[in-house]
Structure 1
Amino acid sequence: MKKILSLLTFQLLALAALAQTGNLTGSIKDANETPILGANISINNTSYGTQTDSNGYFSINNIEEGNYILKISYIGFKTKELPLTITSNETLKLENLVLYEGNEILNEIVIEGERRNKFSRKQTAYVSKLPLKDLENTQVYSTVTNEILESQIVTNFDDALKNATGVEQLWTSTGRGGDGAGYYSLRGFSVQPQLVNGLPGLTNGTINPANIERIEVLKGPSATLFGNAVSSYGGLINVVTKKPYIGTGGQLSYTTGSYGFNQIVGDFNTALSKEDNLYFRLNTAYTNQQSFQDAGFSKSFFVAPSLSYKVNNRLSFSFYGEITQAEQTNPVFLFLNRNAPSDASNLEELGYNNKLSFTSNDITLENPTQNYRVEMDYKLSDSWKSQTLVSRSNTSTKGYYTYLYDYGILGNNTFSRYINKQNANTQTTDIQQNFIGDFKIANLRNRMVIGLDYFNETQTDNSTGYAFYGNVQVDGTSNGDNPFTADVEEDIYPLSTSALDAALASQGVSNIKSKYNIYSMYVSDVLDITNNLSAMVGLRLDHFDTEGDVSDSSDDYDQTTLSPKFGVVYQPIKDKLSVFGNYQNSFTNVAPQLVGDPEAGPQTLETYNPEQANQIEFGVKTNLFNNRLNATISYYDIKVTDRLITDPSSIFNKIQGGEVTSKGFEVEINANPIKGLNIRAGFSNNDSETTKSDNTEILNKRPLEAGPETLYNFWANYEFQEGSLSGFGVGLGFNGASERFAINYASTGDFILPSYTIANASIFYTANKYRIGLKVNNAFNKEYYKGWTTITPQTPRSVLANISYNF
């Protein structure tokens, strides 16, 4: 009897306790009535929280009775907050709650919990300037996520881009004025990374990966929405930075490795005022690295403050800054002869000792860079919002720049060294006003952006002319015989700053300031014709106004250009499979350029007609098995008219009037077949040719900027989920390219750089607060080269060790 009474008493007490709690259930969907998987559900100022399942449902049990604020958030959507009351012993049902797509810049939640496919993030507010899903977008783009960079222990921007399908480095950052950032081939055309969060963000050096949330590589001509100043006919590269989030936390990370590599990275986020919704985040990094060659180094200090302020439910502000102080020895490229065959037609004949840098650590360039962006968002109505954006960039180059050129006069694979002292600055200002709408006309949904854009770029160049500074042979021997004098000289040319200054004393100093303005209007509309069929239409009006050399009014001119865009998407299986086609246009209002050999006298500014590029593309996108398989397969055909091409007889001159065709196909796969395993793979093949040109040197040949015909990349990362090995993981991958032309002019013949495949591997352990990783790059120590009329050796096998602590 006592046992029975005790059991009854216990049950009564348990029921009394349960009577003080209630339950909450609900479902979340988007405006298209599609369930949202992985939305974050939390109750403010409590520990209650969960995520929605594949059907958009959620439930939280045993909530103490009382009044609460329910918060629902998901990347790419506006955060929703709802007051609710939990009653004892009852279940509150919130069915069919709707999240509306909104401004990713302000509402992105960095801590998302477990995302099923970590190598794929296809929600973005930048690619189309509208919050479209990938399956709804007629344009193809690759996204390199922060999770990939972390799994590969990526410490530089060049390695990060190896994960983007169809992208190959042409040459590394030189640090020189104007165009010192790295160059990459994309769909047969050269491109530099010049967009940050969808706005111009320039650099003469390299981009620091410490502040990268992801990299978006938009494929094909993209001038309709982004203009020509920051894009190429192959596409554009947009860096999305880390942003403030609700909460306090951060990370400290240290990486060390081969060739004197050391990097310290810090990330800190906090609320300056929770009551005022004011959040601050700071990312910073210090990097120091030596070269695998006999000389060479780079060092940089980077700091990126960011701020978000939500005034109320209608008005919000954000600020982002990036400040870099960098110094490096500029990589000394071997420039091949553009007028006559070189002594060697391949690397074996060249006999290149790639451990030689042909420079010294005394000869350096400094590249201070600053990028700032301010944004104001204002909700005009339930259907329209206003977005005002202002960006400023300032980048400079100071120091010594050198290059080696094969004139073909002295023979024996002899390259002549030329030097100058750089003193250049580039400043840009961009102001955008966007009106973004989501509304219906005759029961048809429209998602529209209407924008105004003002862009200004000012360049100042006070650099010296170039001076001859001795010769080198690729085996390391040197001599002082000037190839343009009759006498045989035996002068000595030491690699010191004092000796370089003495050699440059007789050179003139440029005093050139040039600037141009671009005034633009654009509109883009995505019309849902049916629930499964949508069309995108866009148009840009661009007025280009240049002063050229501000001291010379004779080179002033302006041009006006229209850039249309059209695309169709059909989803046979809604939100799982889409078939798309697009017509995209781009143009180049070519700015006046300095032409003429500076050794023969002062250079002059030349003006040109605008170039035009048109692309036709079609393909398939998938989002299958609850986001476990994302794939894109596409075929494109691009034609460029009035192409401006570097004169093969002189790097300092340009020739216009050419036509170039570029066609090919791309395949990208992001998969999560089982829990803990993430796979990324890409393959591209490009066929480019100059089909029309007055310059017979390049006619019917592959443009050198097109890079290799075939590119491929693969990375698989597996982390054990349970058992004694829980937290341990391994990563394996490779990337490679077919052979490419370093030179293929009619009069020079071909110099071919061989194909390569580079293997990489990592091992790591992840705990609650820290992560330890070890990475081997170029595991089999492959000797390989890249180039664009140049020959640039790549880094041999290297090892990186990393430890990160989260707080």
Structure 2
Amino acid sequence: MKLKLLILMVFFSTMALAQEKEGNMGSVTGTVTTADGNSGQGVDVKIKELNITTTAGADGNYELKNLPPGKYTIMIAKGKSDGYSQEIEITPENEHILLNIQLDYSSQKLEEVIVSSGGNRFAKKESDDVSKMPLKNMENPQVYSIVSKELMKEQNITDYNSAFKNIPGAGIAEVRNQGRTTNMSRGFPTPQLVRNGVGSFTYNTIDPANLERIEVIKGPSATLFGSTISSFGGLFNRVTKKPFDTFKGEISYSAGSWDLNRFTADINTPLNPEKTMLLRFNTAFHSENSFQDAGFNRSFLLAPSFSYAVNERLTFLLDVEFGIMKGTSPTRLAPYISKDPTKPALATSIEDMNIPYTRSFANNTVNYNGQQYNIFAQMKYKISDTWNSQTIVSRTRSSSEGYVVSLSALSDTTLRQSVTKQDYPYYGTDIQQNFIGDFKIGEHRNRVVAGLDFYSLKAYRNDATVNMPAIDYRNPGAAYNNFTISKIEPLFNNVTFNNFTSNNEQTYSAYVSDVFNVTDKFIAMAGVRLDRYFNKGSYYPEKDLTVGDYNQTAFSPRFGLLYQLIEKKLSLFTNYMNGFNNVGGSDFNGNPFKPSQANQWEGGVKLDLNKFSATVSYYNISVTNMTRPDLDHTEGSFLIQDGTQLSKGFEAELIANPVPGLNIVAGFSYNDSKYTKASADVDGLRPSTASSPTMANVWASYRFINGPLSGLGVGIGGIYGSKYYQTNTHTFTFSIPEYTVLDASVFYDRPKFRIGVKVDNLTNEKYWSYRLAAQNPTRVTGSFTFKF
């Protein structure tokens, strides 16, 4: 008994001593920021005397725990910080120390620090555009993905569409005439209409040379961005490169398969000793042929940006892109659908058609010219410590002039080439005023954005189309060579051109959104938008006739809840988001149609453990007020507005740095989309525009951090998409097969230069886009970059 009592006394004494010792332990916490105010993500913070190191997370926060009493030196362990260090002392009266660290270099320089330390290079999630206010990813109950310029460099990306291989559920880009592209988001086609958070109606090829990152905001986002520039599945925001306060530059040359020649330059410099006037200049020249027998693209981009800090309160930014291009139109093929039910089409997939993969059915003399400019002007003014004003003016113009081609299968063995001669200019204007506040009501923090938005789009069309004789697409013979501009141009002498105003739209909007901290860990978000939409219709001057003019008003709310189970590390979230599309026309009784509405409910988990960042979510999007044929009044082709569509699914994204030098980006998406009340021929079926139900992407790279091989790296990855449909009705389906495309790269990255080689489509997979355009076979690209 005495022995047991002695053991218990020793045990409890030991526990008490341990608790006393633990109670005397100290900690140091804080936030690392760069000189330009951005997050210091990836920076290693070290206690020199104890050789203990931690890494700042995506929001720049760090924590050093269980430190015994004593005097210590806090320092940046890796990267150049000009000798940053600070002495601290941990005592019983000073156990928990708050130490915020501001680096003396910009976020541009920070990337070199992260590379040298082997940190999580691709986990940069922080953005002021996603919520139109500074809001950390772990505080945001909305899902979004980021493709950074660092990831695009590592993958040796020379065309904009390839960047979307890194986005869960984006699929194969649908390239339309003029080179404009559409990708998928949650089962809905989503065009490229947003630049720096506002409307930028770019209808031409986008060059990636001026991109800082691509932000993919998931789900209906009309509350903050409006319906004109967002789809029911989300939106894609192109964030351009901005000036910073040090002299730096890169000049790069790339060459590769199919006569690729590409030159880019990125030069940044302060313009005065005070570094209040900054200039950055990007340019690109791109020339590339098609892997098919005909097809080419030549483009030139100039993109200067200038910022001026008048004083500590007032800052101006002017960001301009000007581009010209010449090329052949992308492939657009319509499959053969028999109109005789007794003689159905034999080909029910693109594989069944057996079209020669390398045959274009085009000619390089049949081409068009494109031109675009994007002007972004911004004024920021600090009204007070809690309120800021942001004024933005965005102007865009896109045009194409020349000849574009479309292909139509007329039978199981023949197709017809159609040529449109066109002159299409588009003009867009977006003027936006935002007031952004960060203040407390009692003990509760509020982050508010309130704004006014004016958006205008105007477009003109002058075009005519001619049809060529049908040819046997498997064995065309000499007829294949008759498709030249010299033989096509005379056909337009006998056709009537359409010359009219095709678009004339204006939207006046007001919105407000509040992110409210119920507690430090529990956050509620609420917002609403009012849109007043005016569509002045299409105007035909020869008849002095306007068709399709109408006005509509729409409300778009959103709500969200987020709880941080582990502060800044693990968050649970749910949201309700709304989007809408304006619908013109009226039903049989003359009642005007209402905007169609998309309502999303979503829930999920966000994780940020420095080395691992992940988002997992489930969403349910219900679309109402869709129009469908009125079966009770078929004599006049009337429509009724009671159609519905459902799109639900699961998405997961992982960005990991399990060991220094190894970086992984991976994603998975499953989308179940179907019409739930629609025309009889498609009711209950998956929309053909919804792309693959199941998609996956991965990219893994390893870079040597230390030793003689420092800077040498390899990468491998790929994308997968399940079978999907170009046509999907109860009477006929035309499918596109599943695909698995693998890519690999080798690179050598040093402070003064970079050499890279990329092989796309290692296995020479044959795969097609929704428009039945054959995608690139194996392609090799090499690049050399000089840094200064």
Q: Secondary structure at the match of 2:498?
A: coil
Alignment partners' CA distance in 1, 2:83 and 2:131: 25
Aligned equivalent of 1:612? 597
Alignment partners' CA distance in 2, 1:504 and 1:61: 73
Aligned equivalent of 1:162? 165
Aligned equivalent of 2:389? 386
Aligned equivalent of 1:545? 534
- Aligned residue among 347, 353, 357 for 2:356: 353
- Per-residue Cα deviation, 1:330-358 (whole angstroms, up to 9, x for no partner): 12322124564433112443111011100
Matches within 5 A, 1:373-412: 373-406=376-409, 408=410, 411-412=411-412
Aligned equivalent of 2:785? 804
Q: CA deviation at 1:525?
A: 0.2
Alignment partners' CA distance in 1, 2:518 and 2:227: 31
Aligned equivalent of 2:347? 344
Alignment partners' CA distance in 2, 1:800 and 1:112: 24
Aligned equivalent of 1:251? 250
Q: Secondary structure at the match of 1:702?
A: coil
Q: Per the alignment, do residues 181 and 61 of structure 1 end up closer, same or farther by CA in structure 2, a change over 3 Å counting?
A: closer
- Per-residue Cα deviation, 1:356-383 (whole angstroms, up to 9, x for no partner): 1001000112110100000000011100
Aligned equivalent of 1:79? none
Q: CA deviation at 1:750?
A: 1.6
Q: Per the alignment, do residues 639 and 306 of structure 1 end up closer, same or farther by CA in structure 2, a change over 3 Å counting?
A: same
The answer as to 2:296 corresponding to 1:313 is no
Counterpart residue type for residue 470 of structure 1: P
Alignment partners' CA distance in 2, 1:646 and 1:709: 27
Between the aligned residues of both structures, percent identity stands at: 39
Matches within 5 A, 1:132-531: 132-175=135-178, 181-275=180-274, 277-337=276-336, 340=339, 341-406=344-409, 408=410, 411-463=411-463, 465-477=464-476, 494-513=482-501, 514-531=503-520
Alignment partners' CA distance in 2, 1:358 and 1:306: 41
Aligned equivalent of 1:704? 688
The answer as to 2:62 corresponding to 1:55 is yes
Gaps of 5+ in 1: 1-25, 42-49, 63-69, 74-83, 85-93, 101-106, 481-491, 594-605, 648-652
Alignment partners' CA distance in 1, 2:252 and 2:170: 28
Aligned equivalent of 1:735? 719
Aligned equivalent of 2:51? none
2:656/2:664 contact within 8 Å kept: yes
Alignment partners' CA distance in 1, 2:338 and 2:399: 33
The answer as to 2:549 corresponding to 1:556 is yes
2:698/2:717 contact within 8 Å kept: yes
- Per-residue Cα deviation, 1:102-145 (whole angstroms, up to 9, x for no partner): xxxxx965644423211111110000001111111111011111
Q: Secondary structure at the match of 1:504?
A: helix
Q: CA deviation at 1:51?
A: 10
Alignment partners' CA distance in 2, 1:336 and 1:669: 38
Q: Per the alignment, do residues 355 and 61 of structure 1 end up closer, same or farther by CA in structure 2, a change over 3 Å counting?
A: closer
- Per-residue Cα deviation, 1:653-689 (whole angstroms, up to 9, x for no partner): 9977431100000010000011111000000000000
1:762/1:775 contact within 8 Å kept: yes
1:470/1:478 contact within 8 Å kept: no
Counterpart residue type for residue 760 of structure 1: D
Q: CA deviation at 1:806?
A: 0.5
Q: Per the alignment, do residues 555 and 30 of structure 1 end up closer, same or farther by CA in structure 2, a change over 3 Å counting?
A: same
Matches within 5 A, 1:65-76: none
Alignment partners' CA distance in 1, 2:663 and 2:108: 22
Q: CA deviation at 1:264?
A: 0.4
Alignment partners' CA distance in 2, 1:638 and 1:277: 47
Q: CA deviation at 1:784?
A: 1.5
Counterpart residue type for residue 544 of structure 1: Y
Q: Secondary structure at the match of 1:332?
A: coil
Aligned equivalent of 1:587? 580
1:263/1:286 contact within 8 Å kept: yes
Aligned equivalent of 1:750? 733
Aligned equivalent of 2:5? none
Aligned equivalent of 2:134? 131
Alignment partners' CA distance in 2, 1:645 and 1:183: 24
- Per-residue Cα deviation, 1:177-197 (whole angstroms, up to 9, x for no partner): xxx511212111101111111
1:193/1:237 contact within 8 Å kept: yes
Alignment partners' CA distance in 1, 2:270 and 2:629: 52
Alignment partners' CA distance in 2, 1:387 and 1:350: 55
Q: Per the alignment, do residues 612 and 310 of structure 1 end up closer, same or farther by CA in structure 2, a change over 3 Å counting?
A: same
Alignment partners' CA distance in 2, 1:655 and 1:325: 42
The answer as to 2:701 corresponding to 1:680 is no
Q: Per the alignment, do residues 499 and 194 of structure 1 end up closer, same or farther by CA in structure 2, a change over 3 Å counting?
A: same
- Aligned residue among 756, 760, 778 for 1:777: 760
Counterpart residue type for residue 802 of structure 1: S
Equivalent pairs, count: 699
Counterpart residue type for residue 672 of structure 1: N
Q: CA deviation at 1:745?
A: 1.7
Counterpart residue type for residue 543 of structure 1: R
Aligned equivalent of 2:652? 667
1:471/1:478 contact within 8 Å kept: no
Counterpart residue type for residue 495 of structure 2: Q
Q: Secondary structure at the match of 1:368?
A: strand
2:138/2:570 contact within 8 Å kept: yes
2:338/2:345 contact within 8 Å kept: no
Counterpart residue type for residue 429 of structure 1: T
Alignment partners' CA distance in 2, 1:781 and 1:500: 35
Alignment partners' CA distance in 1, 2:333 and 2:743: 27
- Per-residue Cα deviation, 1:693-746 (whole angstroms, up to 9, x for no partner): 1x2121111101100000000100111112232221100111110011121122
Q: Per the alignment, do residues 302 and 59 of structure 1 end up closer, same or farther by CA in structure 2, a change over 3 Å counting?
A: farther
Aligned equivalent of 1:66? none
Q: Could you tell me the TM-score, scaled by structure 1's length?
A: 0.82
Counterpart residue type for residue 415 of structure 2: F
Alignment partners' CA distance in 2, 1:645 and 1:466: 29
Q: Per the alignment, do residues 713 and 97 of structure 1 end up closer, same or farther by CA in structure 2, a change over 3 Å counting?
A: same
Aligned equivalent of 1:642? 625
1:471/1:479 contact within 8 Å kept: no
Counterpart residue type for residue 521 of structure 2: N
